[in-house]
Amino acid sequence: MNTPSNRIQSLDASPTLAMAARAAELKAQGIDVISLSLGEPDFHTPDHIKEAAKKAIDDNFTTYGPVPGFPTLRKAISEKLKNENHLDYAPEQIIVSTGGKQAICNAILALFNPGDEIIIPTPCWVSYTEMVKLAEAKAVIVKTSFETDFKMTAEQLEQAITPKTRGLILCSPSNPSGAVYSREELATLAQVLAKHPDVLILSDEIYEHINYVGKHSSIAEFAEVKQQVVLLNGVSKAYAMTGWRIGWMAAETWVVKACQKLQSQYTSCTCTVAMKAAEAAYLGEQTCVETMRQAFEKRRDLVVRMAREIPGFEVNVPDGAFYLFPKVDALFGKKTAHGDVIKDCNDFAGYLLDEAHVAAVSGDAFLMPECIRFSYAASEETLTEAFRRIKEAVEKLH
Ligand code: PMP
Ligand code: GLU
């Protein structure tokens, strides 16, 4: 009695959100904590998007909307896919949800059965494995390495596929590693997947616009696998709209219909005012996206330079997203000035919080316990101070 369901008891709470809450608590106690834990743009939502939301309220977009989203928004997304990605998805092949998070969870719950195997290359975003757990499916982990820039090879993928495989979750640009799969790399994965038409490819492209190596490539560009692809994206990162909670999926109509059924029982539709704001984001001028991308790129260069000066940090250059994911296992086994041993990445993240007052997320959360994640979606001044403190704290270890 008085216990949550087994389903909830076996679920881990989101460690990124937990660390952000811990940092906020310490700040509320008056401690000068710099939080590089939560991955969200530090910019405000551009004004023309905010204006569209205010107008939506005045125009009384205040009742339930259609379950899959306003037709005008689905059309705007369909046009974005055509113009920016050269991908053909009719508006009926698009469903709008409460953040990219719900779009991904919808896909996993609507498409997979208990026992189905879902391949997840690691390091991976914290929520994939837990969502797969909710569906009672089985996460099959493919561990990548620092040396391969945390990218899964076609050989690794091929080896992981069994007769029970029903899905793959691919994230490019990647949270947490910042790795970006090139078109050529995606082509080699597509070649393998085309031989397995019953394996669905959940392609999380939420960091599409935060890319420092050129044009974004989607695995949906490969005709031989397009019907297997469930493309997931949203406005949170590109337009600094994390709080508006708008994400979407583009896929074959049967997939969208399945998610629509689930969503009709679960959230009805997402927030109508936020949908009108997202529509303005896609239809309005796009310079804000590039301005923010350029700022992230400058910060990327800055944090890579500073992190490389820290003893024990191995740093590769992230090609996208706004995370630095250094390998720090050379520090495990060292002692703090108080004589405590840093056994693993959790101890190291705890040490940085206590000693340097910098909040980061342990690599454990992303199934890569050799590493630690810093979000560099913060001002250059904040980042400079944070890395100064981190360096000082690391230099105290012996
Ligand atoms: N995928 C990845 C890889 C993410 O980092 C995030 C950020 N939370 C999401 C999806 C979901 O984003 P949101 O729900 O804010 O749209
Ligand atoms: N994607 C962000 C992160 O990884 C937001 C938090 C979350 O939804 O996990 O920090």
Average confidence (pLDDT) over 91-107? 98
Reference 321, options 246, 398, 269, 373; nearest CA is 373
Q: In what order do the strands lie in the sheet with 229-234?
A: 94-98, 246-250, 229-234, 200-204, 165-171, 117-122, 138-143
For residue 176, the ligand 2 atom closest to its alpha carbon is: 4
Number of the ligand closest to the Cα of 106: 1
CA angle 354, 360, 363 (to 5 degrees): 115
Distance 337 CA to ligand 2 centre (A): 32
How far apart CA 114 and CA 45 sit, in angstroms, is 40
Which tens digits make up the pLDDT trace of 48-89?
A: 999 999 999 999 999 999 999 999 999 999 999 999 999 999
Predicted confidence at residue 215, as pLDDT, reads: 87
What SS3 state is found at 210? coil
Task: Kindly report the protein residue whose alpha carbon is nearest to atom 9 of ligand 2.
Answer: 16
Indicate if the pLDDT at residue 145 is higher than 80.
yes
- Burial class of 369 by CB neighbour count within 10 A (0 to 12, 13 to 18, 19+): middle
* Phi, psi dihedrals of residue 229, rounded to the nearest 5°: -85, 135
Query: Does residue 41's CB lie within 6 angstroms of at least one atom of ligand 1?
Result: no
Number of the ligand closest to the Cα of 17: 2
Indicate if the pLDDT at residue 367 is higher than 90.
yes
Which tens digits make up the pLDDT trace of 101-136?
A: 999 999 999 999 999 999 999 999 999 999 999 999
pTM of the model: 0.97
Predicted confidence at residue 146, as pLDDT, reads: 95
Query: Does residue 100's CB lie within 6 angstroms of at least one atom of ligand 1?
Result: yes
Which tens digits make up the pLDDT trace of 163-188?
A: 999 999 999 999 999 999 999 999 99
Mean pLDDT (the chain) is 97
Which tens digits make up the pLDDT trace of 22-47?
A: 889 999 999 999 999 999 999 999 99
* Bridging pattern class, strands 200-204 and 229-234: parallel
16 band by pLDDT with thresholds 50, 70 and 90: confident
